[in-house]
Amino acid sequence: MTDIAVRVENLSKQYRIGGAQARYKTMRETLMDMAAAPARRLRRLGRPAPPEETIWALEDVSFEVEQGEVVGIIGRNGAGKTTLLRILSRITEPTEGYAKIKGRVGSLLEVGTGFHPELTGRENIYLNGAILGMKRAEIERKFDEIVAFSEIEKFLDTPVKRYSSGMYVRLAFSVAAHLEPEILLVDEVLAVGDAAFQKKCLGKMGDVASEGRTVLFVSHNMAAISALCPRSVLLEEGQLACYDDTQEALEKYLNLGAVLQRIPLIERKDRRGSGRITLMDVSFTDPQGTPTPTIRSGQDTRACISYVCKDGVPLRNVVVSIAFDDYLGRHLFSCPSRISGEPFDEVPPSGRMICAIPRLPLPPGTYTFHLFCGVNNETGDWIRHAGQVSVAEGDFFGTGRLPEASRRGLLVPHHWDVE
C-alpha cells in the first residue's frame, strides 16, 4: 500500500472579519477586569450577543498526497491556498476537520517565516535546523551547500533584519530545501527573487522530488506548475474545485479566470490594497483614441484606466502598472510608471491614467492583464487577472509577414545588415 504523506479530511477554517485586535494588559488592568467581571455578566443576561461577521477561508476540503509526490496548489487570490499551507505547517489551527502529516515539514510561506531578525544568517541556519529536529552534526554536513546555494556568503554573519527581501528569500529557501524535510511546502514567496534564482529554486524542487520527498507548491506561475507538478489541487472560494491531473486542473482554473474577467472591474471583490484609490475600468484604444476590443500587433496602443480616490481627496506619489501574461500565466512584459520614471506627483480625485504602448509587441492571441496602483509606497489597489485583451494580426515589420505560429514570442523591432 502506498504511503500517504499528507491526509486532509473535511478541513475548514473560519476567520472573524474586523474583530478588534487584543492588546496586552497591565497586571493592574487584569485585576480590575477580574473584579468587574461578575457585574458585567449580570448586565449581559438576556441581552443578545452582537452578530459577528465571519468568513470561511477553507470549507470542507479533503485530499491525500502520496509520499514523493509533487502537487501544485492553484487558485486565484483569496481562494485559501496560503491558509491551507499555514494549517499544514502547524502555524494555524483548523476550525473543523484535520490534517495528518507524516514526516518532518520544511516550509517557506512568507518572507521571514521561521527566522529571528536579530540573529545572523549563520545562526538562523542552525536555529531552523534545530526546529526541524536535526542534530548539529547534520546541519554542519549541509551548511556549505546551503550557503553556496543562497549566494549570500558575504552577509552570512550579518543580522537578517538588515537583509533585503531577495536575500531573505534566498537564504530561507536554501535552508528549507537543504535541511532534508520529508515534506516541503513552498508558497508564492519565490516571486520575490530574481529570475535566475527562481529558475534555480524550481530546479532544486525537482531534485527534492526525485529524492522521494514530498513537495506542495503554491504558485500563480502556471508554466512552473505544469513543468513540476503531475497533479494539482484547485481551490475556489475556499472549496476544493478540482484535484486531478495538472492539465485538467489548469483548464478548469483558466475557465474560472475567464468567468472572473467578465465581471466588471468595479465589482471585483478579489482586489488587494488599502482602498485609498480604486481602479474602476480599463479600455484599450487605437492610435485615433477609439476604444477597441481587439488591438493589432505592432499598433500604437493606449491602455486607459479609470480611477477614483477615496473620499474624493487628491493623492500624491502615485505609481501605476499594467502587466501582461500569456494563457499559461507566463509573464510577458509590464509597464510600470515607477520604472519608466513617470510617477504622478498628484492625481485629481477621479480621472484616467493612460499608458501609451508604441508598437504593441504581442503576436496574435488572447492575453491576461493585471493592474497595480500604489500610493506613498503602499499598495492602493491590486487586481490580478483584471481582464483579457485580444490581439489580431498586424504588419509589425512592414513586410506583411509574421513568424510561424509555433515560434511566436514577443515581437521586437530589429534591423539586419552585412559588413
Rounded Cα distance between 256 and 314, Å, is 36
Q: What is the CA radius of gyration of the chain?
A: 25
- For the chain, the first-to-last Cα distance in angstroms comes to 69
pTM, full prediction: 0.66
Domain ranges of the chain: 55-259, 265-398
For residues 70 and 72, what is the distance between their CA atoms, to the nearest angstrom?
Answer: 7
Query: Could you tell me where the DSSP H helices lie in 211-245?
Result: 222-228
Q: Which residues of the chain have pLDDT under 70?
A: 1-2, 17-52, 110-114, 189-195, 257-261, 402-408
d(CA 12, CA 56): 7
Nearest of 282, 269, 275, 266 to residue 321 by alpha carbon: 282
Backbone angles phi, psi at 226, to 5 degrees: -65, -40
pLDDT on residue 411: 81
CATH number of 265-398: 2.70.50.60
Torsion sign over Cα 391, 397, 401, 404? negative
Question: What's 55-259's CATH class?
Answer: alpha beta
